[in-house]
Amino acid sequence: MKITRINPDIYIPSRGSEHAAGYDIFMPSIEFIYPGETKKIKLGFATAIPVGFAALIMPRSSWGSKGIELANTVGLIDSDYRGEWQAVIKNTSNEQIQWNLDERVLQFILIPVNTPELEIVSDLDETDRGEGGFGSTGK
């Protein structure tokens, strides 16, 4: 995947181990985020995600356990987006949270994307589950 620095001082995202699914994102600045506050953070890079893939941005688990969330739950970056990556981060804890320059707060994974044509039909094929929804398979 091609990546370019918007901020020349950032570290390029990287995987923490050989088998890690996610690429850790290094924060481009020191930030304080107060309880209940939401901030839009420019991440300092842009990418050319290969066609047929998308990126999902989410907090690393250690930061999620502190109360860091994305305001839209998960960020989706499409393969045709070429702008600077950004994240809208929310503090859901009761305490001020701080991260330092180059701290790994967020991560992203690449996923394959299938985009079949939608076909309008009058009826759907029957299944054993049918219309069983929330909790219907856990009995």
pLDDT < 70 regions, the chain: 139
- For the chain, domains (ranges, CATH) are 2-112 (2.70.40.10)
- Other CB atoms within 10 A of residue 134 CB: 6
Residue 45's contacts (CB-CB under 8 Å, 6 or more residues apart) are: 3, 4, 5, 6, 7, 10, 12, 13, 84, 85
Q: What is the pLDDT of residues 33-49, one digit of tens each?
A: 999 999 999 999 999 99
At residue 129, the pLDDT reads 84
| pTM (predicted TM-score) | 0.87
Contact in structure between 93 and 35 (CB atoms under 8 Å): yes
